[in-house]
Amino acid sequence: MTTWLLVAHIAVLGYWLGAELVINSTYRYVCYSVEDPFEARDRLMDHVMHVDQHVRYALVLQATLGTLLAMQLGYLPGGTSAQAWVILLGGGWLALVELVHRRRARPVGERLARADRMLRALLIALLIAFAAGLFEAGAYLPGWFRWKLTAFAGVMACGVAIRLVLLRHFATWREMATNGASPVLDREVQRLYWRATGVLLLLWGLIALMTFLSVAKPA
């Protein structure tokens, strides 16, 4: 069972990075295809947001699979019922991610997205407190695992930062839908693309660091 969890944990890493690459290159295409009619770019942008779901699933899956692995390998306390809770909470989080996406065009979507961002902020704070040894269960974790959890908090923070950039992208996008595209609005959309890509590069750096820590287990 532990071996299969590890296989799934590593497979999700590939799934995550593959989805990120597709999203980023399609997002760039949308921002730079200034000669295309806005309707065509808008349809493709909608597709970007569908594909974007995959990185959101991947984050939740890594958190769930990683926690289960940590329990099975004895890094964290937790028997069968604690592991069942982890699966249940992971499933609930996945359902929330899906709901936020499906309701994004309705007024309730805004509130759900805010709740999701707040949940992530809370998890980031908890992860850092845990990695710092403030909870008893985390006090005996090896150093590499603490750094890995801190880097994971950084990955989550980068995800939230990208969403905040995307909120500004969509405000400009709506302006384009109302008044038509213009060189000024296109430049703004491209500027935001580079800002999101800068954060994404940091996120990839943190994922590379987590992979290194997991394989090398330096301390």
| CB-nearest residue to ligand HEM | 66
Stretch that binds ligand HEM, among 6-14, 28-36, 80-88, 116-124 (CB under 6 A): 6-14
Judged by CB under 6 A, which stretch of 19-27, 43-51, 63-71, 132-140 contacts ligand HEM?
A: 63-71
Give the one residue of 48, 62, 159, 188 binding ligand HEM; rule: CB under 6 A: 62
- Integer Cα distance of 64 and 86 in angstroms: 7
Q: Shortest distance, CB of residue 129 to ligand HEM, whole angstroms?
A: 14
Q: Which of residues 99-158 bind ligand HEM (CB under 6 A)?
A: 152, 155
Smallest separation (angstroms) from ligand HEM to the CB of 161: 16
Q: Would you say 122 and 156 are in contact if contact means Cβ atoms under 8 Å apart?
A: no
Written as six digits, the tokens of 85 are 């809770």
CB 28 within 8 A of CB 193: yes
Q: Does 70 bind ligand HEM (CB under 6 A)?
A: yes
Residues ≥6 apart with Cβ < 8 Å to 41: 30, 33, 181
Q: Using CB under 6 A, pick the residue from 15, 38, 57, 75 that binds ligand HEM.
A: 75
Beta strand ranges found along the chain (DSSP E): none
Q: 132, 147 in Cβ contact below 8 A?
A: no
